[in-house]
């Protein structure tokens, strides 16, 4: 017996057993497997088209991102000009990308010089009376828009990762759109609320001296104040209650300083709240704010909604604070997730929301499995009928190929989609095609009068490069599909790529070893082919 035959048989047996170990936990019989096997082996995930879920198309409001950035720059410019003792009365953001600087006196050279040396991203556009207008340059506007979409993509990905959805598909589409696909998700409203929350966290002092009732009724606020509301829904009646707060406009500290946010339980009222932790700089600021504002109320605001406005009893050191608001555990958990993942740089608008029902997914699975079974059986019967015993060997290779392919997909925790099932069927076809090429070459050698062993060896040698060429070219195509495709197309590329690599092994090693064993054990007079 050739020394290589035991090695090849060992390899085939090892890969087959390994494939079964990996694949079985992804099948319906997984519940009958031992728990250590079922719980520790990665499983094949089903894509959105097979198990249902949610498909969202989000549009990032890039104009708002530019406006927010301009607003922050206005504050920064104001601080600089005041520090340099420039003769100004105010610095305000106006429009989307304009900043208006109101000055006193007649000479604006100092202001212009400071702006030119520190804010080259602005250009002076116009001015009337005692105002100078600066506008962001086009390059900076485009940079902010591009950054806002990239940052929104990353923030949404972080939120979904923390939310715990398996195999989400999140990618950018076009200039300012983001596609989000969440397979298997059932609580779509919760997911939409989690994804769409801008999560801008701010801390502001409550203006205790202002008349909040008058401000709410007449919608007129004192200079330097703003009117915000605490909105809450009564869990029994469902009525939304709004409590107005008159707040100082100045933001004392923002969520940018957070390092952690977690759900905790209030020991007194047994209600969940969100415990937040600041970084070292944020902790220092927070301690300073609370030390200077003892006895005052500090409002905690998220996306313009006041969550709570507790009274500051004493200086708070250690960089920790809490957000209360009569949350359910899910609400507190989602709030902690968005705070940990960070704020969106701009609001996102849902322009498409498609929920794929599980019944459609089940129909697709059943149709795909049925197509696989019927197609596979027909191919196996044809091979046995046309190539006789050699056809049985080819059928063995096909079964080995499918088993190892499914095991490999489980190992890589791959997602099986409907196009992925098509990729498996295509792989079966390519596996059969490889054996047909080899068998036809063997037939030609037999017709030339060669002995069975010589004909088999020559058939494999002659078909070798043809099989390699066809598989490599298909593999290149699959790689391109994976690189530039999305969602189900990638699923197709993954199953096809794995199938091709495994097919080369089963077609050139799996079947050849059986022919070699036949010729080693006894003298074969003819090949049943």
| Largest Cα span, the chain | 112
Mean pLDDT of the chain: 83
Q: Return the pLDDT at 452.
A: 81
Write out the E strands in 166-215: 169-173, 177-183, 201-205
At 123 the three-state DSSP class reads: strand
Residue 359 has pLDDT above 70, yes or no: no
pLDDT in tens, 82-121: 888 888 888 888 888 899 888 887 777 888 888 888 888 8
431 pLDDT higher than 80: yes
Spatial distance between the Cα atoms of 399 and 420, rounded to a whole number of angstroms: 18
- The whole-number average pLDDT for the span 344-367 is 74
The dihedral built from the CA positions of residue 437, 443, 444 and 445, taken in this order, carries a sign that is: positive
Determine the Cα–Cα distance for residues 281 and 293; give it in Å rounded to an integer: 18
Instruction: Give the pLDDT confidence score for residue 486 in this predicted structure.
Output: 65
Do the Cβ atoms of 104 and 82 come closer than 8 Å? no
pTM of the model: 0.64
Q: What is the pLDDT of residues 323-339, one digit of tens each?
A: 877 778 887 888 888 78
Do 430 and 41 contact (CB within 8 A), yes or no? no
Contact of 37 with 50, CB cutoff 8 Å: no
CB 24 within 8 Å of CB 36:
no
Residue 204 has pLDDT above 70, yes or no: yes
- Better pLDDT: 408 or 488: 408
Nearest to 308 by CA among 376, 231, 253: 231
- Please give the Cα distance from 95 to 67 (Å, whole number): 7
What is the pLDDT at residue 137?
Answer: 92
Q: Is the pLDDT of residue 193 over 70?
A: yes
Euclidean distance between the first and the last CA atom of the chain, given in angstroms as a whole number: 23
Q: What is the dihedral of CA 319, 245, 221, 105, to 10 degrees?
A: 0
Q: What is the pLDDT of residue 215?
A: 82
Burial class (CB in 10 A: 0-12, 13-18, 19+), 218: exposed
Q: If pLDDT is split at 50, 70 and 90, which confidence band does 439 have?
A: confident
pLDDT of residue 303: 80
> How would you class 392 by CB atoms within 10 Å of its CB: exposed for 0-12, middle for 13-18, buried for 19 or more?
middle
Torsional class of 495: left (φ above 0), alpha (ψ -120 to 50), beta (otherwise): alpha
Question: What pLDDT band is residue 59 in, cutting at 50, 70 and 90?
Answer: very high
What is the pLDDT at residue 213? 84
Mean pLDDT of the 233-241 span: 71
What digits encode the pLDDT tens for the residues 446-485?
888 888 888 888 888 888 888 888 888 888 988 888 877 7
Give the per-residue pLDDT at 358: 58
Query: What pLDDT sits at residue 493?
Result: 84
Rounded CA-CA distance 94/73 in Å is: 12
Report whether pLDDT(522) > 70.
no
Q: Give 398's pLDDT tier (boundaries 50, 70, 90).
A: confident
Give yes or no for a contact between 455 and 446, defined as CB atoms under 8 angstroms apart: yes
Q: Tell me what pLDDT residue 141 has.
A: 92
HSE-CB of 391 using CA atoms within 13 angstroms = 13
Q: How many residues can be counted in the chain?
A: 529
> Does pLDDT of 364 surpass 70?
no
Nearest alpha-carbon partner for 48 in 412, 483, 358: 358
CB atoms within 10 A of CB 156: 23
User: What is the rounded distance in angstroms from the CA atom of residue 405 to the CA atom of residue 498?
Assistant: 6
The count of C-alpha atoms lying within 13 angstroms of the C-alpha of 246, restricted to the half-sphere facing its C-beta, is: 19
Identify the band that residue 158 occupies on the pLDDT scale cut at 50, 70 and 90. confident
For the stretch 284-300, pLDDT in tens is 888 888 888 888 898 88
């Amino acid at each position: 017996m050739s020394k290589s035959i035991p090695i090849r048989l060992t390899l085939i047996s090892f890969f087959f057993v390994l494939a079964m170990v990996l694949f079985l936990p992804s099948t319906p019989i997984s519940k009958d497997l031992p728990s250590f096997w079922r719980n520790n082996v990665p499983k094949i995930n089903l894509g959105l088209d097979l198990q249902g879920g949610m498909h969202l198309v989000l549009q990032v409001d890039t104009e708002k991102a530019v406006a927010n950035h301009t607003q922050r720059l206005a504050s920064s410019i104001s601080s600089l000009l005041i520090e340099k003792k420039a003769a100004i009365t105010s610095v305000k953001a106006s429009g989307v990308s304009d900043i208006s600087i109101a000055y006193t006196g007649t000479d604006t050279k100092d202001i212009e010089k400071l702006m030119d040396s520190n804010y080259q991203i602005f250009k002076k556009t116009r001015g009337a009376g005692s105002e100078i207008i600066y506008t962001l340059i086009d390059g900076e506007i485009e940079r902010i828009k591009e950054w806002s979409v990239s940052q929104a993509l990353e923030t949404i990905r972080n939120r979904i990762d923390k939310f715990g959805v398996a195999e989400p598909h999140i990618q950018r589409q076009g200039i300012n759109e983001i596609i989000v696909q969440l397979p298997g998700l059932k609580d779509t409203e919760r997911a939409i609320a989690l994804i769409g929350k801008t999560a801008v966290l701010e801390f502001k002092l409550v203006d205790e001296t202002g008349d909040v009732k008058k401000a709410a009724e007449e919608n007129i606020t004192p200079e330097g104040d703003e009117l915000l509301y605490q909105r809450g829904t009564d869990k029994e009646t469902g009525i939304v209650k709004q409590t107005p707060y008159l707040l100082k406009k100045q933001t004392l500290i923002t969520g940018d300083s957070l390092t952690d946010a977690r759900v905790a339980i209030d020991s007194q009222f047994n209600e969940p709240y969100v415990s937040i932790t600041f970084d070292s700089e944020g902790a220092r600021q927070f301690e300073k704010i609370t030390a200077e504002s003892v006895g005052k109320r500090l409002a905690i605001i998220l996306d313009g909604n006041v969550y709570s406005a507790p009274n500051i009893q004493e200086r708070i050191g250690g960089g920790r604070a809490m957000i209360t608001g009569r949350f359910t555990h899910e609400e507190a958990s989602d709030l902690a997730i968005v705070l940990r993942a960070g704020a969106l740089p701009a609001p996102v608008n849902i322009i498409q929301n498609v929920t794929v029902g599980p019944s459609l997914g089940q129909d697709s699975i059943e149709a795909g499995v049925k197509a696989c079974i019927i197609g596979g059986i027909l191919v196996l019967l044809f091979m046995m009928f046309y190539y006789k015993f050699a056809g049985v060997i080819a059928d063995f290779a096909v079964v080995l190929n499918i088993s190892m392919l499914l095991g490999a997909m489980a190992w890589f925790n791959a997602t099986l989609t409907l196009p992925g099932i098509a990729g498996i069927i295509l792989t079966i076809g390519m596996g059969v095609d490889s054996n047909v090429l080899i068998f036809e070459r063997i037939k030609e050698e037999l017709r030339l009068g060669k002995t069975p062993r010589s004909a088999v060896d020559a058939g494999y040698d002659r078909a070798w490069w043809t099989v390699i060429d066809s598989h490599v070219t298909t593999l290149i195509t699959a790689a391109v599909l994976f690189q530039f495709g999305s969602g189900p197309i990638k699923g197709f590329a993954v199953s096809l790529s794995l199938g091709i690599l495994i097919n080369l092994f089963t077609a050139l090693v799996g079947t050849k070893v059986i022919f070699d064993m036949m010729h080693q054990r006894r003298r074969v007079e003819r090949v049943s082919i």
